[in-house]
Amino acid sequence: MPLVKSGAIVADDYLHVADGDAIAEGAVLLPAARFLVDPEGVLKRNSKVGVIWPNSRNIAELAPWLDRVAAVALVFPTFRDGRAYSQARLLRERYGFRGELRATGQVLRDQFVFMLRSGFDAFEVKKDSDAAAFTEVARRYSVVYQPTGDGRATAAARRLSRQNAEARS
């Protein structure tokens, strides 16, 4: 499964740790339940720690450690289950999370725009062809209608600034 970051297909430097496995050396992504057993303990390691957070669990529970967690992976069990979009926005916009925010599970081309606008910056894409099309698809819409944490100027804001510019000139 290709990983896309900053528009390019890159190698994944995180090891996904399953529930029963030992925590290996190097950067790891841990299931939430595993992480929560001893957060301080795992965060003391010398390498990066990320958490895989299920979409049915309140993201606020992760808040105390967000400044030390390097990555959060949110889950789309099917592309039709949109809970992780809300979690992503909360992480970015309410809890100020600045680390890697990764979309996992059923991640398909036609969700990229929604995911980017919700704050994701890393994508475990299901299909190679979708990953290859990432940059093109991400540019699909030059117009957005609602403000989110991505800071893009909305249609309404652009109209008003254009009017103001006209009024000044």
Partner 1 sequence: MYAYDEIDRTFLSERVAEFRDQVRRRLNGELTEEEFKSLRLMNGVYLQLHAYMFRVAIPYGTLSAQQLRRLAHVGRKYDRGYGHFTTRQNIQFNWIKLAELPDAMEDLAEVGIHAIQTSGNCVRNITTDQWAGVVPGEIDDPRVWAEVLRQYTTLHPEFAFLPRKFKIAISAADHDRAAIKIHDIGLRMRRNDAGEIGFEVLVGGGLGRSPFIAKTIRDFVHARDIISYVEAVLRVYNQYGRRDNIYKARIKILLHELGAERFAKDVEAEWAQIRDGMLEIDDAMVDDIRSRFRYPRYEQLSDTPQELAKASDPRFTAWLQNAVAPHKVPGYAVVTLSLKPIGGTPGDATAEQMDAIADLADRYSFGELRVGHEQNLALPNVAKRDLPALWRALDKIGVATPNVNLISDVISCPGLDYCSLANTRSIPIAQELTRRFANHDLAAMIGRLHVNISGCINACGHHHVGHIGILGVDKNGEEFYQITIGGRADEGAEIGTLIGPAVPYAEVADVIEDIVEAYLALRAAPDELFIDTVKRLGVQPFKERVYATR
Quick one: which segment of 16-24, 32-40, 95-103, 113-121 binds partner 1 (CB under 8 A)? 113-121
- Near partner 1 by CB under 8 A: residue from 21, 38, 61, 110: 110
The DSSP result for 48-106, as a single string, is -EEEEE-TTS-GGGGGGGTTT-SEEEEEESSTT--HHHHHHHIIIIIS---SEEEEEES
Q: Which is nearer to partner 1, 35 or 85 (CB)?
A: 85
Contact 55, 27 (CB under 8 A): no
Q: Which is nearer to partner 1, 20 or 145 (CB)?
A: 145
- Near partner 1 by CB under 8 A: residue from 32, 113, 132, 138: 113
| Single-letter code of the amino acid located at 97 | F
Quick one: which segment of 12-20, 44-52, 65-73, 147-155 binds partner 1 (CB under 8 A)? 147-155
